[in-house]
Amino acid sequence: MSINHIIAMQGKDITIDCSKSAKQEFSRLNSPVYLQMELLFSCMVTKRVVQVSEKHCSLQVQLNNSVFLSFRPIRTNVCAPHGVDIHEHDEVEVIDIEEPERFIPDWLYIDYCKNVWCGEFGYSRKSKK
Amino acid sequence: MSESTIAEVHGETLMAASMQKDPDAWFERKFKEHMEKHEQSIIPSLSIVVTKGSLDWAYPPFILASSAAALGWEVDLFFTFYGLSLLKKDLDLSITPMGNTAMPMKMPFGPNWFQNINWNIPNALSTNIPGFDKMATSLMQKTISNNGVASIEELRELSIEAGVKMIACQMTVELFGWDRADFIPEVDDWVGAASFLPTAKDSDVTLFI
């Protein structure tokens, strides 16, 4: 089961690369996996790739038979305290950004470490590690 | 007479009656309604004068610009003096602990207790060690990357994608003997301060960084 190298999200191409461990895990999947690229506007602008439960995000594409990818740019009402899950924090209100398609990244790197889906995404090929 | 015409006439009659009964209250209500509509239609705007070109000082303007753009604001960045280097095609930004008394010197690797140590390195030592600034720069870049914080290149791309206007100071280009070809093609305009000031005057928020 392979992942398309370039996918289109809202008309914008995203180049996808996967680590060896991610590829191995993809081949073992027997239930759908929903990965999300999350862009957080706070005191800093941070990015992370996380696995989410089945969510119907407006920007979602299917990478293969069992992997779905979504993109969600958000902001918070207060600066997110370091090291806490903002989605599970009482004082942090997560607000979706209007017109999220303006922030769709150019590349995505999917990894699987210590039984957790993770990765990176970015906006210029040069800035990729 | 159609139903909508009847409703319209009925509405106007009610409005005229209300106006005659208490014209002040009627005017106040109408004025409030108009002001609310007007305020909703206004798009907030932000202008930032960007004057610094070091790695640490490059973050505030791009973070504020991209965040404001994410909120739907109109944003103009005016890059002048050392800030203009943030528009170069090849960003080679660095950082120095010299004169940066508030800059923590921490290691981006190792166990937590090691990462939490603040290495207070005396200026006399840091200035005499060749390549110290390069090391400080790479440590800062590693810390930024470890925390999933977007790089300056990415923030610049994000800002451009979000419609932030990048305005370069023409005088600085000439002053420092640079060439326009050294800069990214997304620069919207090459102007002087006199051309940028009217934009800043009309902005809701104007910052100097």
| DSSP labels, A23-67 | HHHHHH--S-EEEEEEEEESSSEEEEEEEESS---SSEEE-SSSE
**pLDDT beyond 90 at B166:** yes
Query: Tell me, what's the pLDDT at B45?
Result: 93
Query: Tell me, what's the pLDDT at A83?
Result: 66
Contact assignment for A122 to B162 by CB distance below 8 Å: no
Joined together, the tokens standing for residue A64 give: 């293969």
Q: Are residues B58 and B21 in the same domain?
A: no
Q: Confidence band (pLDDT; 50, 70, 90) for B208? A: very high
Query: Tell me, what's the pLDDT at B11?
Result: 66
% of chain B residues with pLDDT over 70: 93
Beta strand B205-208 with B74-79 is unpaired
Q: Which residue has the higher pLDDT, A58 or B31?
A: B31
How far is residue B148's CA from residue A6's CA, in Å, rounded to a whole number?
23
Q: Are residues B195 and B96 in the same domain?
A: yes
Query: Tell me, what's the pLDDT at B205?
Result: 93
pLDDT digits over B109-159, tens only?
777 777 777 777 777 777 777 887 888 888 888 888 777 788 888 889 888
Q: Which residue has the higher pLDDT, A87 or B93?
A: B93
Query: Tell me, what's the pLDDT at B81?
Result: 92
Chain B environment of A41 (Cβ under 8 Å): 66-67, 70
Number of domains in chain B: 2
How far is residue B13's CA from residue B30's CA, in Å, rounded to a whole number?
16
Contact assignment for A102 to B161 by CB distance below 8 Å: yes
Joined together, the tokens standing for residue B165 give: 């206007």
Contact assignment for B145 to A122 by CB distance below 8 Å: no
How far is residue B151's CA from residue B141's CA, in Å, rounded to a whole number?
8
Q: CA-nearest residue of chain B to A82? A: B147
pTM: 0.75
The minimal CB distance from B70 to the residues A46, A73, A123 is found for A73
Task: Enumerate residues 6+ apart whose C-beta is below 8 A from B109.
Answer: B115, B142
**pLDDT beyond 60 at A127:** no
Radius of gyration of chain B (CA): 26
Q: Confidence band (pLDDT; 50, 70, 90) for A110? A: very high
- Residue B131, by phi and psi: left (phi above 0), alpha (psi -120 to 50) or beta? left
Query: Tell me, what's the pLDDT at B204?
Result: 92
Chain A environment of B145 (Cβ under 8 Å): 129
Most confident among A60-69, A92-101, B42-51 (mean pLDDT): B42-51
pLDDT digits over B55-91, tens only?
889 999 999 999 898 888 999 999 999 999 999 988 8
- Please say whether the beta carbons of B75 and B65 come within 8 A: yes
Q: Residue A68's CB: how many other CB atoms inside 10 A?
A: 19
Q: Looking at chain B from residue 40 to 59, which residues have their Cβ under 8 Å from any Cβ of chain A? A: 59
Shortest distance between the Cα of A78 and any Cα of chain B, in A, equals 13
How far is residue B82's CA from residue B49's CA, in Å, rounded to a whole number?
11
Query: Tell me, what's the pLDDT at B3?
Result: 65
3-state class of B199 per DSSP? helix
- Please say whether the beta carbons of A42 and A51 come within 8 A: no
The B189-191 sheet, strands edge to edge: B189-191, B165-169, B74-79, B45-50, B205-208
Contact assignment for A103 to B158 by CB distance below 8 Å: yes
Q: Is B66 an interface residue toward A (CB < 8 Å)?
A: yes
Instruction: Enumerate helices (H) and strands (E) in chain B, giving the number of each.
Output: 9, 5
Question: Looking at residues A95-102, what average pLDDT do you find?
Answer: 81
Q: Are residues B21 and B79 in the same domain?
A: no
Q: Is B115 an interface residue toward A (CB < 8 Å)?
A: no
Joined together, the tokens standing for residue B136 give: 């400080």
The minimal CB distance from A48 to the residues B69, B148, B161 is found for B148
Question: Looking at residues A118-123, what average pLDDT do you find?
Answer: 88
CA angle at residue A36 from A96 to A93, to 5 degrees?
30
Q: Are residues B140 and B106 in the same domain?
A: yes
Contact assignment for A123 to B145 by CB distance below 8 Å: no
Q: What is the dihedral of CA B91, B73, B205, B95, to 10 degrees?
A: -20
**pLDDT beyond 60 at A128:** no
Question: Looking at residues B22-48, what average pLDDT do you find?
Answer: 86
Q: Looking at chain B from residue 165 to 194, which residues have their Cβ under 8 Å from any Cβ of chain A? A: none
**pLDDT beyond 90 at A47:** no
Contact assignment for B157 to A73 by CB distance below 8 Å: no
**pLDDT beyond 90 at B37:** no
How far is residue B29's CA from residue A82's CA, in Å, rounded to a whole number?
47
**pLDDT beyond 80 at A59:** no
Most confident among A112-126, B13-27, B151-165 (mean pLDDT): B151-165
What does the mean pLDDT of chain A come to? 82
CATH number, domain with residue B201: 3.40.1260.10
Q: Are residues B148 and B95 in the same domain?
A: yes
Q: Domain spans of chain A?
A: 6-124
Range of the domain at B140: 46-208
Chain A environment of B63 (Cβ under 8 Å): 43-45
What does the mean pLDDT of chain B come to? 84
Shortest distance between the Cα of B126 and any Cα of chain A, in A, equals 28
Q: Are residues B83 and B16 in the same domain?
A: no
